[in-house]
């Protein structure tokens, strides 16, 4: 939408600049030949610079100014572009308009000034629309973060966990005490240690280990839960509570009290990627009642805002097994 408005704006501006002198000649002097000649000169002068504008606005500025922040390469490419356009323009004038070589190379300074003016215009418009996009992105991020804070830990998880620990107090007090400590650690992490943009991976792994241990309390002997966190965590940071909705969904839709079931959770990393996978047997519950769809949509919004273009997420049933896979480029 914004790029279309820019295209319309620049196209109209170009037409006005090209037609101003020819229309003036035609309506004031009724000189059609002069109008056509001036239109040709205006086109020959301005169209190369219009190409420079679009080249900067749609490619050079987004790539080398906003993304790579490489101003030397940006100006170097522009210099090459200017020289190419100028040589082509001089050749056209020399061979088709004026065979005087000295006069053909004469107007260099106006071309250089106009060239920098075009690039300045492209930079100004690009920065303006980028600031608008950044503001909209920030608002969207705030909405997603607010929704995430509301859904950090499902109330059903707390209710079921407290009930399970309460039952253990009479049958296995030591294990109940251990699980109560896990619950305390989970709540402390979720409430106090995640109020930052990104958290250390080792903290997230400790949280997931405690969270999965508490989730296992609801499982019967027919369910097998396997955890494999084989990571080099030093210096790696990620979004807080990034994987909790995927783990929660696995326990919601992957276990059965009547049939054999399983859940496998793994997290591995390399120098380039952080790979998280959840596999579970498939016993789907009602989506509207479980709220899984909301959790996944919220996860996708957070990923798009924080790792735009640097992640891959997939989920679905393959050969009767539900697999969720999230790969993040480090």
pLDDT per position as a tens digit, 290-323: 445 667 887 888 888 888 889 999 999 999 999 9
Among the three residues 147, 166, 190, which one is the final residue of a domain in this structure? Answer: 147
Least confident of 80-94, 182-196, 205-219: 80-94
Same domain, 114 and 162: no
Say if CB 275 and CB 325 are below 8 A apart: yes
Task: Say what the pLDDT of residue 13 is.
Answer: 57
Asked if 55 contacts 81 with a C-beta cutoff of 8 angstroms, the reply is yes
- The pLDDT score that the predictor gives to residue 288 is 45
pLDDT score, position 279: 96
Structure confidence at residue 121 as a pLDDT band (50, 70, 90): confident
Count CB atoms within 10 A of the CB of residue 151. Answer: 17
pLDDT for residue 32 is more than 90: no
Mean pLDDT, residues 223-251: 90
Instruction: Tell me the pLDDT of the chain averaged across its residues.
Output: 79
Mean pLDDT score, 164-170: 89
Interatomic CA distance for residues 70 and 117, integer angstroms: 20
- Cα angle 117, 120, 123; round to 5: 155
Q: What is the pTM of this model?
A: 0.58
pLDDT digits (tens, 9 = 90+) for 38-59: 665 666 666 677 788 888 888 8
According to the model, what pLDDT value does residue 289 have? 41
**How do beta strands 321-329 and 273-281 pair?**
antiparallel
Choice between 267 and 300, residue whose per-residue pLDDT is larger: 267
CATH number for the domain spanning 290: value is 3.30.565.10
Side-chain half-sphere of 268: how many Cα atoms within 13 Å?
Answer: 6
DSSP 54-81: HHIIIIIIIIIIIIS--HHHHHHHHHHH
The pLDDT of residue 185: 93
Neighbours of 250 (CB within 10 A): 24
Return the minimum-mean-pLDDT range out of 29-43, 224-238, 275-289: 29-43
Which carries the bigger pLDDT value, residue 200 or residue 140? Answer: 200
Q: Is the pLDDT of residue 102 over 60?
A: no
Same domain for 168 and 241, yes or no, is yes
- DSSP H helices, 107-262, are 108-150, 155-171, 173-192, 201-215, 244-253
Task: Return the pLDDT at 43.
Answer: 62
236/172 same-domain check = yes
Q: How far is the C-alpha of 76 from the C-alpha of 74, rounded, in Å?
A: 5
Q: For residue 7, give Cα distances in angstroms to 1, 125, 255, 301.
A: 10, 11, 55, 29
pLDDT for the residue numbered 235: 83
Cα 124 off chain centre by: 23
CA distances, 111 to each of 92, 233, 322 (Å): 15, 55, 63
Task: Tell whether 123 and 244 lie within a shared domain.
Answer: no
Q: Which of 112, 147, 182 is the last residue of a domain?
A: 147
Count of domains observed in the chain: 2
Parallel, antiparallel, or unpaired: how do β-strands 223-230 and 261-269 relate? parallel
Angle between helices 108-150 and 32-55 (to 10 degrees): 40
Rounded CA separation 263/282 (Å): 10
Q: Are residues 217 and 126 in the same domain?
A: no
Which residues 6+ apart lie within 8 Å of 17 measured at CB? 42, 46
DSSP state of 284: -
Quote the tokens at residue 134: 């950044």
The answer to which of 91-105, 147-161, 314-328 has the lowest mean pLDDT is 91-105
CA-to-CA distance for 308 and 302, rounded, in angstroms?
9
Residue ending a domain, among 147, 165, 190, is 147
Same domain, 283 and 155: yes
Question: Do 269 and 182 share a structural domain?
Answer: yes
Do 114 and 22 share a structural domain?
A: yes
pLDDT at residue 1, rounded to an integer: 44
- Does residue 190 sit in the same domain as residue 291? yes
End-to-end CA distance of the chain: 32
168 and 143 in a common domain: no
Cβ neighbours of 292 (radius 10 Å): 19
Q: What percent of the chain has pLDDT over 90?
A: 27
- Mean pLDDT value of segment 89-108: 62
- Tally Cβ neighbours within 10 Å of residue 224: 13
Residue with tokens 């323009």: 89
Instruction: Say whether both 268 and 138 belong to one domain.
Output: no
The pLDDT score that the predictor gives to residue 175 is 92
Q: Which domain holds residue 242?
A: 151-329
Closest-CA residue to 160 (of 251, 223, 72, 71): 251
- Reply yes or no on whether the pLDDT at 98 is more than 50: yes
Identify the DSSP state of 323.
Answer: E
Same domain assignment for residues 219 and 282: yes
């Amino acid at each position: 939408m914004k790029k279309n408005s820019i295209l319309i704006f620049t196209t109209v501006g170009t037409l006005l600049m090209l037609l101003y002198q020819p229309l003036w000649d035609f309506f004031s002097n009724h000189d059609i030949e002069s109008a056509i000649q001036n239109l040709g000169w205006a086109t020959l002068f301005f169209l190369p610079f219009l190409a420079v504008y679009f080249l900067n606005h749609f490619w050079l500025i987004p790539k080398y100014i906003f993304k790579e922040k490489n101003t030397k390469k940006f100006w170097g490419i522009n210099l090459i572009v200017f020289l190419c356009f100028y040589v082509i323009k001089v050749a056209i004038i020399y061979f088709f308009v004026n065979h005087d070589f000295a006069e053909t190379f004469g107007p260099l300074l106006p071309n250089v000034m106009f060239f920098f003016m075009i690039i300045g215009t492209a930079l100004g418009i690009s920065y303006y629309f980028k600031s608008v996009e950044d503001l909209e992105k920030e608002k969207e991020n705030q909405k997603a973060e607010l929704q995430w804070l509301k859904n950090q830990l499902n109330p059903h998880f707390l209710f079921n966990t407290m009930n399970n620990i309460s039952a253990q107090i009479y049958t296995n007090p030591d294990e109940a005490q251990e699980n109560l400590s896990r619950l305390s650690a989970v709540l402390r992490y979720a409430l106090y240690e995640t109020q930052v943009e990104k958290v250390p991976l080792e903290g997230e792994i400790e949280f997931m280990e405690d969270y999965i241990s508490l989730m296992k309390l609801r499982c019967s002997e027919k369910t097998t839960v396997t955890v494999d966190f084989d990571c080099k965590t030093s210096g790696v940071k990620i979004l807080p509570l990034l994987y909790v909705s995927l783990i929660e969904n696995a326990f919601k839709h992957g276990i059965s009290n009547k049939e054999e079931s399983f859940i496998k959770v793994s997290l591995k990393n390399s120098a380039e990627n952080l790979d998280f996978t959840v596999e579970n047997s498939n016993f789907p519950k009602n989506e509207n009642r479980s709220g899984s769809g909301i959790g996944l949509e919220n996860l996708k919004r957070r990923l798009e805002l924080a790792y735009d273009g640097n992640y891959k997420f997939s989920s679905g049933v393959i050969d009767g097994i539900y697999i969720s896979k999230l790969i993040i480029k480090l």
